[in-house]
Chains A and B, each alone.
Chain A
Amino acid sequence: MIPISIKVSLDLVKSLYAKFIDWDAEMIDYETGIPSHATNTAISEDLGQVEYIMTDKTGTLTENRMIFRRCCISGVFYGNESGDALKDMKLLNAVAGGSPDVVQFLTVMAICNTVVPIKSKTGAISYKAQSQDEDALVNAAAQLHMVYANKNANILEIRFNGSVIKYEVLEILEFTSDRKRMSVVVKDCQTGKIVLLSKGADEAILPYAFVGQQTRTFIEAVEQYAQLGLRTLCLACRELREDEYQEWSLMFKEASSTLVDREWRIAEACQRLEHDFEVLGVTAIEDRLQDGVPETIETLRKAGINFWMLTGDKQNTAIQIALSCNFISPEPKGQLLLIDGKTEDEVCRSLERVLLTMRITSSEPKDVAFVVDGWALEIALKHYRKAFTELAILSRTAICCRVTPSQKAQLVELLKSCDYRTLAIGDGGNDVRMIQQADIGVGISGREGLQAARAADYSIGKFRFLKRLILVHGRYSYNRTAFLSQYSFYKSLVICFIQIFFSFISGVSGTSLFNSVSLMAYNVFYTSVPVLVSVLDKDLSEGTIMQHPQILFYCQAGRLLNPSTFAGWFGRSLFHAIVVFVISIHAYAYEKSEMEELSMVALSGCIWLQAFVVALETNSFTILQHLAIWGNLVAFYVINWIFSAIPASGMYTIMFRLCRQPSYWITMSLIVAAGMGPVLALKYFRYTYRPSKINTLQQAERMGGPILTLGNIEPHPRPMEKEVVSPLQISQPKNRNPVYEPLLSDSPNSSRRSLGSGAPFDFFQSQSRLSSSYSRNCKDN
């Protein structure tokens, strides 16, 4: 009974949905010129039903374009006034004056890395870096006249203020996520001094400062920068004695060549050298949020979509980014609950405590989010899956930091197992597993290559297009598919019911009222064309949807395609079949009850009703819709006139005879009036006296009611659209997002209190305590 035509029409319109995404001029990334692309054409309507969005952070929410913004060198803050240390006259003067602290700091910036400089023919130097952070640091150093000019085997060449300094690299202590720092051991070729240069996370550097150094200003700097959502690195150095280095070098070589537990041994060896630092300063690198991220997240959260941030980054950076992009609300409204612990018991206790808080606050209109790190997550997923699942269902927002790609996929899996429709969005290779695991995968074709975009169902250029992808394309697709599939059932049922009724007056012998040509053409031509143009139907304008994203709830809850709406269409098809059948057999009774004639009367009655049903259910008529609906009606007569002109066909002359009879046309208008009258009356009544939210918005939209001017989201400017923005413009503070700005003035206390109220421990301390034991735990297991 499932009509074949539904499959064909659905496939046709689905590919058109996908094309609309490809064609959408508002979803082109004008910086790179890459349009959005739908790789998977089959799931456009699922986009409209998304309930959970799992997002990566770096490169997805942020631009993944690191820019050196501020620094703190031996207690002096640079770049605080202008927001750009490279333009700070104080720093420029210090560089020009050759202040030893600053020079040392710049040297670390320039050479403590794995960057390879490349000299082009014109003499300009460009850098090839694996990490965006190192690239930012080297470039910043170069702008401050500390140019990392050349690397020749182990000899580095640095030009500073016209003089060339050469260093010999003795050892590179590579970055590991356990140590959270990297170091180089270099030997100054002029003086022969051996120096250890390190850079790393604050918790990996500051505790190892030499006894007596005041690290207070640095801790303050790190905290201040983190509040601004900047990525911080601490730079440090230590002069090594020749014999100390030689001794260590032997040990390091031995560690490097062991076969068992090499990584552990190397880490231990590095630990031996990396202590008693002279902390030089703190750098702050900005990874700017992409344009429109806060608005996008706010709109989508209003649409009832829950956001989870899954990132490999560290906890406080993730929280800062989350705060700055409306992911979580600051203190009075929002609350952050922390799940941590390094043993099963601790995780269990913390999980239970969070769950309890969550249960209590779930009735309050409060934004409660939980934060979990990779280690606790591992334990929670392994041993307390049930409790964690409950937490996942209760919580609208979550931040998971320090998670591995497979954990990302596990989290998606967890939500999928609770029957939520999930969307995963990411940009890098580490997001591929999560993207493939989710119901819908969206890839951002960004700086980290196209891996994610290739694996995903949809690829977009910027995070902010997600809003349009879900609210406009997803929603329209869902609405259109809901109508189309139900209508396809309806039209097939009408014919089926008429055949069933007819069988009762043909001795239940199974005679077909309709001839085979009509039955074939009914599904292929007469009823499929009008409904195919419903791909252009828009119930609400895009602007209205953006202003009232809550309307997406109708799609998420499946309000437009569920058993009760289906029953409505079923009832309508039964009613229409009765109308067509009863009117046809009574109007064409006695001397007119010729088989072929009655069959065409009933069929054309169906076609007329279909045209009016589509017209009634269409919300916006474009020229194509008029053409398809009314043109199809004309085509029906033309096709049947052609068949009626063929002597060999069964219906020879039938249609000409019918069209000459006034009674035929009178019967048709009777069928239309009797069939559509009650439908129209019912629809009107529901529309006016029991309006759904969609109806209300439609009315408001068409009549210019006050709703639209209420506007709960201020129209957001899109400065990036018309021209390609040069990197320089980004640095201008006026380009900052309005939502980004208040956080600057937001005192550090506010967000710390927000953490503290849920989980009463000092965040940063626990973080550093945890991190040191974390690596050890990894080894133990």
Chain B
Amino acid sequence: MSSSTPSSSAGGVGSADSAAPRRNSKRPKYSKFTQQELPACKPILTPRWVISAFMLVSIVFIPIGVVSLFASRDVVEIIDRYETACVPDGYKNDKVTFIQSNLTKQCNRTLTVKKRMKKPIYVYYQLDNFYQNHRRYVKSRSDSQLKENSSWDDVSSCKPEDMSKDQPIVPCGLIAWSLFNDTYNFSLNDQQLAVNKKGISWKSDRDSKFGKDVFPQNFQNGSLKGGATLNLSIPLSEQEDLIVWMRTAALPTFRKLYGKIEQDLQPNDQIHVTLDNNYNTYSFNGKKKLVLSTTSWLGGKNDFLGIAYLTVGGLCFFLALSFTVVYLVKPRRLGDPSYLSWNRNPGGH
């Protein structure tokens, strides 16, 4: 902005002989910007303006809140917490030993559909108290290794899961190492309920973050066993469970997509779930939940937005109302000169 106006400071004061032309060149060029006289709109907070702003917000927010709340309520959700229930009675006090033993981990759960669920029904697993956002955890991955075969040995950022038996691990790092490995099989009325595990990850991740020519290698070979193993013959770009898992969650409670059921479920349907309870959340008191949920235009079941909108809208309405009342009860003329007494002498130190 300053380039449009000539600098007035440059002209030398020394040369006295060419007084007339210098005078003109030193005189600043008049423009509204240089004179700080750009036309300006100067709004002030008049009662009418403020009250109508609050009124407008409440008028807009309350309907949105109602709609959001309905959208959230329309979502049917079945949540089944199973991490304690799936531990045999004898091991209730020593769950970690159980999960680390070679005993069979299979467990049967029954879910009852309360309301009609329209396809697609999303199957999530939810982990609580799992800090996928921990600094060391988040950093422990190698994006270049996941993407390109050529940098298969780029494992510098993956500590402590970078090398196993002096060979680089692919995919390396704590995130991949701790891949979730519970599996769910659903059956309805003794019929297998197909779970579509294709397309559960982001397309952009499959296409450009995980390489088509990168194959797992030396994975879960270490002394300390983590989570799931990977099929060594399938490229990473098709290992969708891994891709989903590698999108780290920002909060310690999170859900990750397990698959989709492409079938409507009717009320009172009994779904039998046969699950392999492999994943060790017992050592850090984590909870595991199986979630079946439909979706709405606003996403999954989450009342927060609706309630927050109703609260904010209500508060704005209340503020608008009380400002109006105060304004009517105690009108105050703006810019009244009586407030402008300079009685307290400004110079009186």
Q: Within the assembled complex, what's the spacing in Å between the Cα atoms of A621 and B134?
A: 45
* With known contacts A590-B255, A592-B299, A624-B38, A701–B335 Cβ distance under 8 A: yes
In the complex the two chains form, is A688's CB within 8 Å of B304's CB? Answer: no
Chain B residues contacting A26 (CB-CB under 8 Å) are: 35
A536 part of interface (Cβ distance < 8 Å): yes
Chain A residues contacting B114 (CB-CB under 8 Å) are: none
Q: Within the assembled complex, what's the spacing in Å between the Cα atoms of A736 and B131?
A: 83
* With known contacts A506-B133, A673-B316, A703–B346 Cβ distance under 8 A: no
B249 part of interface (Cβ distance < 8 Å): yes
Q: Output the least CB separation between A386 and chain B (Å).
A: 18
Chain A residues contacting B257 (CB-CB under 8 Å) are: 591
Residue of A nearest to B252 (CB): A505
Q: Within the assembled complex, what's the spacing in Å between the Cα atoms of A214 and B202?
A: 113
In the complex the two chains form, is A673's CB within 8 Å of B57's CB? Answer: yes
B217-225, B270-278, B305-313 - interface stretch: B305-313
B332 part of interface (Cβ distance < 8 Å): yes
Partner of A37, one of B9, B315, B332: B9
Q: Output the least CB separation between A223 and chain B (Å).
A: 34
B92 part of interface (Cβ distance < 8 Å): no
Q: Within the assembled complex, what's the spacing in Å between the Cα atoms of A537 and B27?
A: 25
* With known contacts A304-B347, A673-B316, A677-B315, A583–B308 Cβ distance under 8 A: yes
* With known contacts A594-B250, A624-B38, A303–B346 Cβ distance under 8 A: yes
In the complex the two chains form, is A591's CB within 8 Å of B124's CB? Answer: yes
In the complex the two chains form, is A696's CB within 8 Å of B323's CB? Answer: no
Partner of A693, one of B24, B38, B253, B340: B340
In the complex the two chains form, is B304's CB within 8 Å of A587's CB? Answer: yes
Chain A residues contacting B33 (CB-CB under 8 Å) are: 624
B59 part of interface (Cβ distance < 8 Å): no
* With known contacts A677-B54, A688-B47, A697-B335, A595–B138 Cβ distance under 8 A: yes
In the complex the two chains form, is A652's CB within 8 Å of B346's CB? Answer: no
Residue of B nearest to A20 (CB): B36
Q: Within the assembled complex, what's the spacing in Å between the Cα atoms of A587 and B304?
A: 6
> Interface size for chain A: under 10, 10 to 19, 20 to 34, or 35 or more residues?
35 or more
Q: Output the least CB separation between A728 and chain B (Å).
A: 21
In the complex the two chains form, is A550's CB within 8 Å of B346's CB? Answer: yes
In the complex the two chains form, is B312's CB within 8 Å of A674's CB? Answer: yes
Q: Output the least CB separation between B189 and chain A (Å).
A: 28
Chain B residues contacting A583 (CB-CB under 8 Å) are: 308
A34 part of interface (Cβ distance < 8 Å): yes
Chain B residues contacting A510 (CB-CB under 8 Å) are: 135
In the complex the two chains form, is B135's CB within 8 Å of A509's CB? Answer: yes
In the complex, which residues 1-30 of chain A have their Cβ closer than 8 Å to any Cβ of chain B? Answer: 16, 19-20, 22-26, 28
Chain A residues contacting B13 (CB-CB under 8 Å) are: 445, 450
Q: With a 10 A CB-CB cut-off, give which of B24, B36, B61 has the most chain A CB atoms.
A: B36
In the complex, which residues 322-348 of chain B have their Cβ closer than 8 Å to any Cβ of chain A? Answer: 323, 332, 334-337, 339-340, 342, 345-347
Q: Within the assembled complex, what's the spacing in Å between the Cα atoms of A688 and B302?
A: 40
Q: Within the assembled complex, what's the spacing in Å between the Cα atoms of A583 and B305?
A: 8
A507 part of interface (Cβ distance < 8 Å): yes
CB pairs A–B below 8 angstroms (14 shown): A23-B5, A303-B346, A507-B133, A507-B252, A509-B131, A509-B135, A593-B251, A647-B209, A662-B297, A666-B305, A666-B309, A673-B57, A688-B334, A696-B335
In the complex the two chains form, is B250's CB within 8 Å of A598's CB? Answer: yes
* With known contacts A37-B9, A509-B135, A591-B256, A699–B334 Cβ distance under 8 A: yes
Partner of B136, one of A445, A509, A666, A697: A509
Q: A695-714, CB under 8 A of B: which get 1 and which 0?
A: 01111111101110010000
In the complex the two chains form, is A674's CB within 8 Å of B319's CB? Answer: no
In the complex the two chains form, is B346's CB within 8 Å of A511's CB? Answer: no
Chain A residues contacting B209 (CB-CB under 8 Å) are: 647, 652
Chain A residues contacting B28 (CB-CB under 8 Å) are: 22-25, 28, 35
B150 part of interface (Cβ distance < 8 Å): no
B349 part of interface (Cβ distance < 8 Å): yes
B248 part of interface (Cβ distance < 8 Å): yes
Chain B residues contacting A697 (CB-CB under 8 Å) are: 335, 340
Chain A residues contacting B90 (CB-CB under 8 Å) are: none
In the complex the two chains form, is A595's CB within 8 Å of B135's CB? Answer: no
Known contacts A594-B248, A621-B43, A696-B339; 14 further A-B pairs (Cβ under 8 A): A550-B342, A589-B253, A591-B254, A591-B255, A593-B249, A593-B253, A594-B247, A594-B250, A598-B250, A653-B202, A683-B45, A691-B339, A697-B335, A698-B42
Q: Within the assembled complex, what's the spacing in Å between the Cα atoms of A598 and B13?
A: 59
Q: Within the assembled complex, what's the spacing in Å between the Cα atoms of A108 and B304?
A: 99
A715 part of interface (Cβ distance < 8 Å): no
* With known contacts A653-B202, A667-B305, A621–B45 Cβ distance under 8 A: no
In the complex the two chains form, is A589's CB within 8 Å of B302's CB? Answer: yes
Q: Within the assembled complex, what's the spacing in Å between the Cα atoms of A212 and B332?
A: 78
In the complex, which residues 575-600 of chain A have their Cβ closer than 8 Å to any Cβ of chain B? Answer: 583, 585-595, 597-599
Q: Within the assembled complex, what's the spacing in Å between the Cα atoms of A22 and B64?
A: 53
Q: B107-146, CB under 8 A of A: which get 1 and which 0?
A: 0000000000000001010100001011110100000000
B280 part of interface (Cβ distance < 8 Å): no
B192 part of interface (Cβ distance < 8 Å): no
Chain B residues contacting A25 (CB-CB under 8 Å) are: 27-28, 30, 34-35
Partner of B138, one of A16, A511, A619, A674: A511
In the complex the two chains form, is B254's CB within 8 Å of A677's CB? Answer: no
Q: Output the least CB separation between B18 and chain A (Å).
A: 12
Chain B residues contacting A595 (CB-CB under 8 Å) are: 133, 138, 247-250
B50 part of interface (Cβ distance < 8 Å): yes
Residue of B nearest to A598 (CB): B250
B104 part of interface (Cβ distance < 8 Å): no
Chain B residues contacting A509 (CB-CB under 8 Å) are: 131, 133-136
A553 part of interface (Cβ distance < 8 Å): yes
Chain B residues contacting A476 (CB-CB under 8 Å) are: 36
In the complex the two chains form, is A590's CB within 8 Å of B253's CB? Answer: yes
Residue of A nearest to B306 (CB): A666
B321 part of interface (Cβ distance < 8 Å): no
Chain B residues contacting A670 (CB-CB under 8 Å) are: 305, 308-309, 312
B165 part of interface (Cβ distance < 8 Å): no
Q: Output the least CB separation between B305 and chain A (Å).
A: 6
In the complex, which residues 655-673 of chain A have their Cβ closer than 8 Å to any Cβ of chain B? Answer: 661-663, 666-667, 670, 673
In the complex the two chains form, is A710's CB within 8 Å of B50's CB? Answer: no
Q: Within the assembled complex, what's the spacing in Å between the Cα atoms of A706 and B336?
A: 8
- Listed from nearest, the 3 A-B pairs whose CB atoms lie closest are A700-B335, A33-B23, A699-B335
Q: Output the least CB separation between B345 and chain A (Å).
A: 8
In the complex the two chains form, is B249's CB within 8 Å of A28's CB? Answer: no
* With known contacts A647-B208, A666-B305, A620–B40 Cβ distance under 8 A: yes
Q: Output the least CB separation between B233 and chain A (Å).
A: 26
Q: A375-415, CB under 8 A of B: which get 1 and which 0?
A: 00000000000000000010010000000000000000000
In the complex the two chains form, is A687's CB within 8 Å of B26's CB? Answer: no
In the complex the two chains form, is B26's CB within 8 Å of A35's CB? Answer: yes
Residue of B nearest to A667 (CB): B305
In the complex the two chains form, is B250's CB within 8 Å of A687's CB? Answer: no
In the complex the two chains form, is B208's CB within 8 Å of A652's CB? Answer: yes
* With known contacts A509-B131, A702-B44, A20–B124 Cβ distance under 8 A: no
A210 part of interface (Cβ distance < 8 Å): no
Q: Within the assembled complex, what's the spacing in Å between the Cα atoms of A34 and B8?
A: 10
Q: A586-623, CB under 8 A of B: which get 1 and which 0?
A: 11111111110111000000000000000000011111
Chain B residues contacting A586 (CB-CB under 8 Å) are: 302, 304, 308
In the complex the two chains form, is A513's CB within 8 Å of B23's CB? Answer: no
Q: Within the assembled complex, what's the spacing in Å between the Cα atoms of A557 and B247?
A: 54
Partner of A663, one of B22, B38, B299: B299
Residue of B nearest to A584 (CB): B250
Q: Output the least CB separation between A433 and chain B (Å).
A: 21
Q: Output the least CB separation between A560 and chain B (Å).
A: 15
Q: Output the least CB separation between A230 and chain B (Å).
A: 31
B237 part of interface (Cβ distance < 8 Å): no
Partner of B35, one of A23, A506, A556, A705: A23
In the complex the two chains form, is A620's CB within 8 Å of B41's CB? Answer: yes
Partner of A538, one of B2, B40, B43, B256: B40
Chain A residues contacting B138 (CB-CB under 8 Å) are: 511, 595
